[in-house]
């Protein structure tokens, strides 16, 4: 069983109706898209973590196991946006709009 499936199965929201979870997920997605990156992204992240660790009852350790690989993928992708190869700053430098 994948770690994300284990976290979902151990959640107190396991028996909750899928529409409830879909409304929460879609609502957070709409907020993440419509709010400015700062502080919107941080607020959406904190809200999602608060719901997962609070009412949903997913243990922090299990949540970390489920999200460490996707989080590593996101961080790796974000780092590539921060640097540029070539240009006036040298062979490798920080990207101006990164």
Mean pLDDT by 10 residues, the chain (98 residues): 84 91 95 92 94 91 90 91 82 80
Q: Which residue, among 73, 62, 70, 49, has the nearest Cα to 3 in the 3D structure?
A: 62
What is the total count of domains within the chain?
Answer: 1
78 CB neighbour count, 10 Å cutoff? 10
User: Which tokens go with 4?
Assistant: 């994300």
pLDDT of residue 94: 83
Sign of CA dihedral 33, 78, 42, 56: positive
Bridge partner residues of 94 (DSSP): 83
What domain range is 76 assigned to?
3-94
pLDDT of residue 22: 95
pLDDT of residue 24: 95
């Amino acid at each position: 069983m994948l770690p994300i499936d284990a976290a979902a199965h151990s959640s107190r929201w396991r028996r909750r109706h899928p529409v409830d979870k879909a409304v929460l997920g879609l609502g957070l997605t709409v907020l993440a898209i419509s709010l400015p990156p700062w502080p919107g992204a941080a607020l959406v992240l904190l809200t999602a973590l608060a719901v997962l660790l609070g009412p949903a009852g997913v243990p922090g350790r299990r949540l970390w196991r489920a999200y460490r690989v996707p989080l590593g993928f996101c961080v790796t992708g974000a780092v590539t946006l921060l640097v540029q190869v070539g240009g006036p700053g040298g062979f490798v430098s920080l990207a101006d709009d990164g």
